Chain A
């Protein structure tokens, strides 16, 4: 609805029984607003976010203006002169004697009666509202804050979320939101209908309590049974579902005094801080498991610290945690409300003075102890069985273990719960509940075994990947084996940029002379430039074994581990570089190498750079270090300083490009890579890096061309084949995936020439 219609009260505003079309403001509005109206609909701004227009009739606000639809004129003709099919359709209507077109038409033409009764009439309870508000104003200040729209949204959100828990939705003190009658009606009707879907597996009373709490907090008349449940539906299922919820008491709705009861209930609810707790008890304490438990509890003498309502709430929550834990869905396991329920079940949250509060640490520990005492004190119960089981296992018991861990982690807060749930350990409370439910108490240590097994597996996997990495894989059928001077040949091939050939020659060298550090080192450099990092690391590790003080080897290993974001390893080698450097060795005391911290190492290198600002290598190592800490701006500065001193170091240009790419400066990165390629056209790693930069910018077709170029130079660069595959699917070139998978470079080069 446009602004003009808002003022004039045009068709859209037509409230049944009122005529507002001849509004004198209309002329004024027309002249003021002209035809600037942009939207036909007046949006339903929430109070506080914009001026609220005059309230329209209930659920109206639509634009009744009719216009002929484009493209439908012809069909209208068709209907007037119906073809065979259409006339059959019409006859069908006429044939039926109840509601032919004429009747249907008349039905529509009849004036729409204003909605009446409970199902949508305007709230007739103005007096009620006044009284109600008086009661409400005497309440403590609101606990939710912010713009009204936000408060309302957050509050509704918490209502929705409470559907997953079954934990009663706590009343909240809200600021005056200025909701219109229509807004209130919407919230009332919709939340009560929708709540019956969300809370389907809860009792009718629970649903009513939830909705009442919502409506009451929003200061809305809660006679929401306008669209209440249909009596006598849900026979068996409801019973089944509600077994654990306590008594099912059919709600008998008396329209005559419904709202009065509701009001008095809620009034007392708000005037008495414990009323809510009582209500909770009433709801859940009548019979069922919870109350049985409560009865058992009441026989205990150690129940003084926690009131029974909290115990009931805890048990309720524990049962829910149990239900949730049986739902294997990790989303539920990780959800906030599950954490909330878990906390509730552990007594970390208590219901106190109408609010959910975190319990003190002492009371929590107290609860755990109490629980154990209860185990001893209830001779015939399962609880006792469990306690005995625990004792027979000779352990200190999960409770103490848990308490100990709790103390370790400090205070009761969300952080702890999150931390705990991060561990791949099932929450003991849920596990306990689960096992109690399954009656497998004797096997209660099973999950612990499972967990240990899992840890061992993880360890094994890690070790495996570490060991496989250091192994150098030699090529089959090496023509350079038997060559008189494979090292010289390798150096020559490397200089010419024939990297894959150089690899073969250098392999022949290290087979011949396994103790030749230079052979291994150059082999590692060649693999790195050829974009095969696994082999590069393996060669460099062999070179390092042979010559632990070789600076180039130490730097290369530092760079490789930085590429893998392995900070400790990288720091070790880079610190080694400093330690074994003839000029800076004094800066790095050997005893420090046992415990290296990034800031210390970076400090030492900055000191070295201060001592000799013209040593490009120091700047290079600093640049690598800043990559490790992901301080890319500092890393870029260091590499740029080094490049002023060593402008023809192609691997340095590549380092700069990679750093710029990591700090999302793809355009600069491409320039740096291009510098590297100008200096060394067969630098496979730089070609692959260019492909990555294009892919980062979403230019997948371009990235494919660069990957293919890199692969044409070194078909053994496994990483580049993977990158190529990703880019092919991102570019929707699935037709070339087969060529990629079969490593058919001919086809790929033909399809993607550079």
Chain B
């Protein structure tokens, strides 16, 4: 399947919820430690035939690293990004270059590591930042609607519940995951999920009570929020911290993860032997990961080796179009 060479180091990748061949990739210079950022809008349409590679349709430059991107669920051209300078930016693919970014929402005092667009109420989104807060935004407001400040350390991820428009979870370096209802004053649940920093979390798309977390302790744990004293599953297999976990939009118990061990793993947390497959295409930290909602089994990953891979689960991400054989002299 095809791949795309990035200018900077890959941080995040997301499939468009509207077009099966469209991807957004967030990247940062110098591993996101210092320098610029760039968002690539990629097109898969030509991939597979012809040159077999992914083509870029558009790119946006930023003055600091782009750590995450998320597509609008209501407008196919709107993308939001999390930036190292603490800003959340709104981009319009249809607008002229000079009009972008449409907005730069600057409230976080530290790096924003995660943005997530509400898939149910399609007008709001979350940002999670190293200033220990999560903020709720709507596209039509110049400032955040609410700030959720309870975590004691960096918040690395915030994820909306796929069923309940007002419920989201946040994962933090304070080793907890918190579940929030935006209608409540404080968090409704604190899960002390790991003994090390929690870098990522995601909700099960088929069971709104199940959440997965990934941590610096290298494990992925699956929790039922109705009885969260103990995880319902602990999945070991990554050799370094787990950077991203993602529940499949097509199978209830299927999870994909990527890690600083450079691999992308797929799991079925209901199996005793949970590790389904391991993909080793990246040669540096694998940081960004997504699963297509529109094409079942289609995965995308982005890494610090400046590569984005798109492949079908079960196939080899590195298998390009096979080389034609050498011609034969008669």
- Please report A residues at the B interface, Cβ cutoff 8 Å: 1-2, 12, 35, 37-46, 59-67, 69-72, 75-76, 79, 85, 89, 92-93, 95-99, 101, 104-105, 107-109, 112, 115, 119-120, 152-153, 156-157, 160, 163, 179, 183, 186-187, 189-191, 193-194, 196-198, 200, 227, 230, 233-237, 327, 329, 331-332, 528-529, 531, 533, 559, 562-563, 624, 627, 650-651, 654-655, 657-659, 661-662, 669, 676, 683, 685-686, 688-689, 692-693, 695-696, 698, 700, 703, 719, 722-723, 726, 730-732
A104 touches B95 (CB 8 A): no
A25 to B263, CA, bound (A): 52
List of B residues within 8 angstroms of A69 by Cβ: 75, 78, 90, 92, 102-103, 139-140
**Could you list 11 examples of A-B contacts with CB < 8 Å?**
A62-B105, A72-B139, A93-B182, A98-B185, A99-B185, A112-B109, A234-B196, A659-B329, A661-B327, A703-B324, A732-B48
Q: Which of A44, A79, A655 contacts B140 (CB 8 A)?
A: A79
Restricting to B125-166, which residues have a CB under 8 Å from any CB of A? 130-131, 138-140, 142-147, 152-154, 165-166
Whether the pair A227, B324 counts as a contact (CB closer than 8 A) is no
Complex CA distance for A72 and B174, rounded to whole angstroms: 37
Q: By the criterion CB–CB under 8 Å, are A655 and B329 in contact?
A: yes
Given contacts A40-B101, A227-B154, A689-B328, 15 further A-B contacts (CB under 8 A): A41-B61, A43-B61, A44-B63, A59-B86, A62-B83, A62-B87, A62-B105, A63-B101, A69-B139, A79-B140, A187-B33, A198-B260, A698-B49, A700-B49, A719-B325
A43 near B325 with CB under 8 A, answer no
Pair B62/A529 contact, Cβ less than 8 Å = no
Q: Which chain A residues border B233 with CB–CB below 8 Å? A: none
User: Which residues does chain B contribute within 8 Å of A693, judged by CB atoms?
Assistant: 327
Known: A61-B85, A190-B33. A105 touches B143 (CB 8 A): yes
Give the 6 A-B CB pairs with smallest separation, nearest first: A108-B143, A92-B183, A62-B104, A62-B87, A658-B327, A695-B324
Would A67 and B130 count as touching, CB distance under 8 A? no
CB-CB nearest in chain A for B88: A62
Query: For chains A and B in complex, what number of residue pairs have CB atoms within 8 angstroms?
Result: 281
Partner of B50, one of A92, A659, A698: A698
Does residue B173 face the partner (Cβ distance < 8 Å to A)?
yes
Chain A neighbourhood of B50, CB < 8 A:
698
Contact of A563 among B104, B154, B217, B326 (CB under 8 A): B326
B330–A683 CB distance below 8 A: yes
CA distance A66 to B140 in the complex (A): 10
Most buried by B among A38, A40, A89, A198: A40
> Min CB distance, A497 to chain B, in Å?
13
- A696 / chain B contacts, CB cutoff of 8 Å: 324
Shortest distance from the beta carbon of B306 to any chain A beta carbon, whole Å: 12
Beta-carbon contact of A160 and B240 below 8 Å: no
Q: Which residues of A contact B197 (CB under 8 A)?
A: 196-197, 200
Question: Would you give the shortest CB distance from B62 to chain A, in whole angstroms?
Answer: 5
Check if B106 sits within 8 Å of A62, measured CB to CB.
Answer: yes
Could you say which residues of chain A place their CB within 8 Å of the CB of B43?
none
B327 cross-chain contacts in A, Cβ below 8 A: 657-658, 661-662, 669, 689, 692-693
Q: Are B196 and A104 in contact (CB under 8 A)?
A: no
Q: Which residues of B contact A655 (CB under 8 A)?
A: 329-330
Residues of chain B within 8 A of A650, CB atoms compared: 330
B195 touches A75 (CB 8 A): no
Q: Is the CB of A156 within 8 A of B184?
A: no
Q: What residues of chain A lie closer than 8 Å to B31, measured between beta carbons? A: 156-157, 160, 194
- B103–A67 contact, CB under 8 A? yes
Asked if residues B182 and A92 are in contact (CB atoms below 8 Å), the reply is yes
| Contact partners of B260 in chain A: CB under 8 A | 163, 197-198
Task: Among A45, A96, A529, A655, find the residue whose CB has the most chain B CB atoms closer than 10 A.
Answer: A96
Q: A43-B61, A528-B330, A661-B327 are in contact. Are A730 and B322 (CB under 8 A)?
A: yes
**How far apart are A663's CB and chain B's nearest CB, in angstroms?**
11
Out of A66, A533, A651, name the residue touching B142 (CB < 8 Å).
A66
B89 within 8 A of A: yes
CA distance A105 to B138 in the complex (A): 12
Tally of contact residues, B, Cβ under 8 A: 99
Pair A104/B328 contact, Cβ less than 8 Å: no
Report the bound CA distance from A676 to B145 in whole Å: 75
- Say yes or no for B303: interface residue by CB 8 A criterion: no
Chain B residues close to A by CB (< 8 Å): 29-36, 48-52, 61-64, 74-75, 78, 83-87, 89-90, 92, 94-95, 97-107, 109-111, 121, 123, 130-131, 138-140, 142-147, 152-154, 165-166, 173-175, 182-186, 195-197, 199, 216-218, 239-241, 243, 260-263, 280, 283-285, 304, 321-322, 324-330
Q: Are A89 and B63 in contact (CB under 8 A)?
A: no
A272 to B23, CA, bound (A): 53
Give min CB distance, A252 to chain B, whole Å. 18
Instruction: Pick the most buried of B32, B130, B196, B240: most chain A CB atoms within 10 A of its CB.
Output: B196
Q: A686–B330 contact, CB under 8 A?
A: yes
Closest approach, in angstroms, between the C-beta of A229 and any C-beta of chain B? 9
Residues of A close to B284: CB separation below 8 A: 160
B196 partner residues in chain A, CB cutoff 8 A: 200, 233-234, 237
Closest Cβ neighbor of A531 among chain B residues: B328
Contacts of B103 in A (CB 8 A): 63, 65-67, 69
Instruction: Knowing A44-B63, A104-B145, say if A190 contacts B32 (CB, 8 Å).
Output: yes
Chain A residues near B218 (CB-CB < 8 A) = 200
Contact A230 B329 (CB under 8 A): no
Given contacts A92-B166, A119-B110, contact A563 B143 (CB under 8 A): no
Residues of A within 8 A of B143 (CB): 104-105, 108-109
Choice from B63, B98, B106, B262 contacting A64 with Cβ under 8 Å? B106
A39 CA / B63 CA spacing, docked (Å) = 11
Q: How far is the CA of A45 from the CA of B62 in the complex (A)?
A: 11
Q: Chain A CB within 10 Å — which of B29, B34, B107, B110 has the most?
A: B34
CB-defined contacts of B35 to chain A, threshold 8 Å: 44, 46
Given contacts A200-B241, A233-B195, A685-B328, contact A59 B61 (CB under 8 A): no
Q: How far is the CA of A689 from the CA of B326 in the complex (A)?
A: 8
